[in-house]
Structure 1
């Protein structure tokens, strides 16, 4: 008889992170594992023995479908950096004691770069000590910056929201364009990689000109050059819209947000907390050019908008969750599941696995050739890469006009079952 599976979610959530959780749960049950336990708040919560039996919450196919449509991390997440093995063996001894106590055969961690660091360290410790458990990373990040995978689950849905919202912001700007000069700066998530900000180019279509300028963190940002670009554009048109990554930096390597009143707090992995880039630039343009300005920060909306999730994204997130269990069941450990693109037209993808040591703590950025010569827009190649990932919709389960989500508070689902049993 097979043992149990332990699954956790880590880092910033996405609109489809729970579809991967659903894929892990269903595939583990289908393959004959005894139980699937979920860490509450990632490896940090697990160290405090916080975990749940997933079968208490996913009791039928309706619950499974509801979980796939639920945004944020169903189990809760964390940003916790495991120490190096030689620095604190007691942490690892505690984790593996709990794994043995719970008869855990497989541990799946759903997350991004920092989460793959956790999988790497746990699998290394298992090798050093001869532990029986197997460890597999399941990719997740809206940032799309994991190495060796064509793209990451979560990115397509975030891009779909960003493209849609950019189009709506531009439409809103045009409604106030009569005899007024107005500059809007849109801030999009992205610390060192501009995959999300580039998605604003999706708004460009027959009914929309798209943003006038797009700035990614891959290219040093020159605020004076930016100001001149905006000034030139305002001579030709009344409305200018610029999209910027929260992580754009000047040529000295200083984040533009650090010039604002934003926080300089750092997380457990040493990442500065980003905020205020668009607000700073909007104020700067107002002072220099005297025109009306405003800033729009998509913030957490871009990672939690499950009502705009891409069907491709939902399905691939479920697919990689299942592939993680399959890889572990076939004896692999210290690996991460990746998505391989087979074709664009029609779009097709499959899964593969790579050694997590080749992925953890790396960062995939937008290729320079996918950014124009002036560094203020993305190329057609970027848009062609992205478009297949935003296709299709995944209709939310609506009750009383609003989406219903799966939560650990199981009260109040009678109305949902009633709606879908009628």
Structure 2
């Protein structure tokens, strides 16, 4: 049998490690012959743009380099499959290309939108009597997939964000004048990544002094009061805020959405900066971490990379066991010692759904995170990967 794998959605630091997990498990399985990579996600399956991964990943050194290379080496997409009962042409193309290459299992590495593809495609294939299996492998730095304890890519992003915020704290503390630094962090509807900055408390950092998540509405006057209270205690106030924090309609810029109807969000940092400048008048600046959060492999979490590879491998095992229309996920058994298992759930339980940061881990004032969350986050950022370097810079795997 042959298999195929594709990557979709936003890049992460660990998504290629999941690709390696699929590839390695295939190499260990005598029943699997060719391993195809679909270029640009499901679009590659539609257009029959496949490559033989055994021709480009030729050695253990290649696999290790790919494992620590950020972003999606096969390319990505944000393509939404139509409902099959309304338009099945694209499904027939996918099925024809799968059968053309004798592919009996397809693995899709992605987030909740990608699980929509896994669910729809597996349902269609069953409806036409095909035994081709479809398995979803999770990823997203947003950590917002239901069912799973956490998602590959999140731990490395959280580690980068925490380290960067700590460096900003050091930078902001050197001057004698009062200042406010607002750090805008990714998170459209779920504030997991912003909340994870609380791990700095484990190393006795007090900052960020204020943390705001999209799960809690932002009141401009309350925000200014929070800042003033912190200014009475700290000369340099550090604020962490999710990009998706809600602000009054009159302060919003034009809204642009993607193919799934999700808003492209940015600008909350600048909005809050202007509020502080106008109403408090101290030195203030905003910093948008932007895409650096997704692909900063130089400080990735070894736990994250190892788990990303593991879950890719487990996806292959589940397909070989006959499962389809499923997503593999992590179930946490304990925090200390940190123990997880890998399970499966129906992709329909994850598709187009979001897991929000628990309100029980947000303080009563809705401007900080409770210590319970630190115990959840800390295991996910543990360990360092020995990064391959050349001329003083990280080396990345590239398709030849």
Query: Normalised by the size of structure 2, how large is the TM-score?
Result: 0.97
Quote the residue 2:251 is aligned against: 259
Q: How big is the shift at 1:121?
A: 0.2
State the match for 2:149 in structure 1. 150
Q: Deviations over 1:4-31 (max 9, x none)?
A: 1110000011101000000000101211
CA distance in structure 2 between the partners assigned to 1:236 and 1:122 by the alignment: 56
Identify the residue that residue 332 of structure 2 maps to in structure 1: 341
Once the two structures are TM-superposed, the CA of residue 204 in structure 1 deviates from its matched residue by 2.7
Cα distance, 1:221 vs structure 2: 1.0
Following TM superposition, by how much is the alpha carbon of 1:395 offset from its aligned partner in structure 2, in angstroms?
Answer: 1.4
Deviation at 1:48, TM superposition (A): 2.0
Measure the CA separation in 2 of the matches of 1:198 and 1:236: 22
SS at match of 1:236: coil
Q: Which runs of 5+ in 2 are unaligned?
A: none
How far does the alpha carbon of each residue in 1:219-262 deviate from its partner, in whole angstroms, 9 at most, with x for none?
11111100111122223332111110001114x7x5xxx8355x
Match of 1:203 in 2: 200
Which among 305, 309, 317 is matched to residue 318 of structure 1?
309
Alpha-carbon deviations, 1:108-151, whole Å to 9, x = none?
00000000000000001011111121000001011111111111
Count of aligned positions: 399
**Where in structure 2 are the equivalents of 1:115-264 lying within 5 Å?**
115-176=114-175, 178=176, 180-206=177-203, 208-250=205-247, 259-261=251-253, 264=255
Distance 2:45 2:203 in 1: 51
Give me the whole-angstrom Cα distance separating, in 1, the residues matched to 2:75 and 2:106.
16
**Does the 8 Å contact 2:202/2:374 carry over to 1?**
no
Instruction: Report the equivalent of 1:98.
Output: 97
2:297 corresponding residue in structure 1: 306
Counterparts of 1:43 and 1:236, CA distance in 2 = 53
Distance 2:345 2:179 in 1: 49
Matched position secondary structure for 2:263:
coil
User: 1:203, 1:346 → 2: CA distance?
Assistant: 20
Q: Which SS does the other structure have where 1:187 is aligned?
A: strand
C-alpha distance in 1 between matches for 2:203 and 2:292 = 26
Separation in 2, partners of 1:118, 1:128: 15
Instruction: State the alpha-carbon separation in 2 of the partners of residues 206 and 243 from structure 1.
Output: 17
CA contact (8 A) 2:257 2:264 kept: yes
| Counterpart Cα distance in 2 of 1:265 and 1:102 | 39
Question: 1:206 and 1:77 mapped to 2: Cα distance?
Answer: 37
Q: 1:279 aligns with which of 267, 270, 278?
A: 270
Residues of 1 paired with 2:78 and 2:300: CA distance?
24
**Aligned-partner Cα distance in 2 for 1:356–1:260:** 35
- The residue that corresponds to 1:74 in the other structure is 73
Q: Give secondary structure in 1 for the equivalent of 2:241.
A: strand
Task: Name the structure 1 match of 2:56.
Answer: 57
Distance 2:80 2:229 in 1: 47
- Measure the CA separation in 2 of the matches of 1:337 and 1:406: 26
Tell me what 2:367 maps to: 376
Name the CA distance, whole Å, in 2 between partners of 1:115 and 1:22: 19
C-alpha RMSD of the superposition: 1.3
3-state SS of the aligned residue for 2:375?
A: helix
Partner SS state of residue 257, structure 2: coil
Contact 2:244 2:266 in 1 (8 A): no
Gaps of 5+ in 1: 410-422
In 2, Cα distance between the equivalents of 1:214 and 1:368?
13
For the 8 Å contact 1:214–1:243, the answer to whether it is kept is yes
Aligned-partner Cα distance in 2 for 1:350–1:206: 28
Please say if residues 143 and 150 of structure 2, whose CA atoms lie closer than 8 Å, have aligned partners that are also in contact: yes
Distance 1:92 1:275 in 2: 35
SS of residue in 2 equivalent to 1:228:
helix
3-state DSSP of counterpart to 2:256: coil
CA offset at residue 36 of structure 1?
Answer: 0.8
Deviation of 1:323 after TM superposition, in Å, equals 0.5
